[in-house]
Amino acid sequence: MHWNLPNILTLLRLLAAPGLAVMFLYFTRPYADWCALILFVGAAVTDWFDGYLARAWKQETKIGAMLDPIADKAMVIIALMVIVGFSSMSPWLVLPATVILFREVFVSGLREYLGDTAGTLKVTQLAKWKTTAQMIAIAVLFSQGIFEHYLGMSAYGMDAQLVDDILSNRVEDLHGLRWKLAGMDWTGRVGLWLLWLAATLTLITGADYLRKSLPYLKETR
């Protein structure tokens, strides 16, 4: 195995994936959310850099080609697991997350069954947009957790009537409750919209991959 810089970046991204869940075991919120967000964004950036450097420096290797999709899927699956686990289990969040997880497992199994033939099925531009939508959606949803917990910390010790008066603009907002609530609301909405977009692209690209695989499946009976 040739451990050049692109491959090392890919390996670090793979090792960072379980770190997303570990953050919530050893840090309290919102610090766990901050650490997970920084770790996830850093891993997403290296996802672009390792591929770019491998092509630019002509350092594409079999180990890199094998680890790269595994690292991507591990990051997405573990991040979605954490987000759903700490959510209110809203069906609007659980359903797109389930679609994404199912597709990733299904396509991975299909690739394994096809073996070397899977390498002939090129990654489409739509699949790249799917991955981008997933990464941005997850980063935004981690941001929502940050706003949510800073809002809770700011409102700690206040009675419900005072909080309502502040949010209704009847009392001066000395602790920034209104902008924290707005941040929580908008990151939640945008993150959810992007997750549904990613789930839709996931279904389309998954169906396209299955369609392209059918001739090879028939040949291997």
Residue 83 covered by a domain:
yes
Q: Is 221 contained in some domain?
A: no
Is 220 domain-assigned? no
Q: Is residue 74 part of a domain?
A: yes
Q: Whole-model pTM? A: 0.84
Neighbours of 208 (CB within 10 A): 14
Q: What is the pLDDT of residues 7-64, one digit of tens each?
A: 888 888 888 889 888 888 888 888 888 988 998 998 888 877 777 777 777 777 777 7
What does the pLDDT read at residue 204?
Answer: 92
Residue 190 maps to a domain: yes
The CATH number assigned to the domain holding 105 equals 1.20.120
Q: How do residues 54-109 score in pLDDT, each as one tens digit?
A: 777 777 777 777 788 888 888 899 999 999 888 877 889 999 999 999 988 888 88
Contact by Cβ (8 Å): 6, 53: yes
> Nearest CA to 205 among 75, 103, 110?
103
pLDDT at 191: 93
Residue 19 within any structural domain of the chain: yes
| 130 domain residue, yes or no | yes
In a domain, 169, yes or no: yes
Helix pair 177-219, 160-167: axis angle to 10 deg: 90
3-state secondary structure 90-121: CHHHHHHHHHHHHHHHHHHHHHHHHHHHHHHC
Residue with tokens 């591990």: 74
What's the total number of domains in the chain? 1
Q: Measured between alpha carbons, how far is 218 from 139 in angstroms, rounded to an integer?
A: 40
Q: Which domain holds residue 48?
A: 5-214
- Per-residue pLDDT tens digits for 173-193: 888 899 999 999 999 999 999
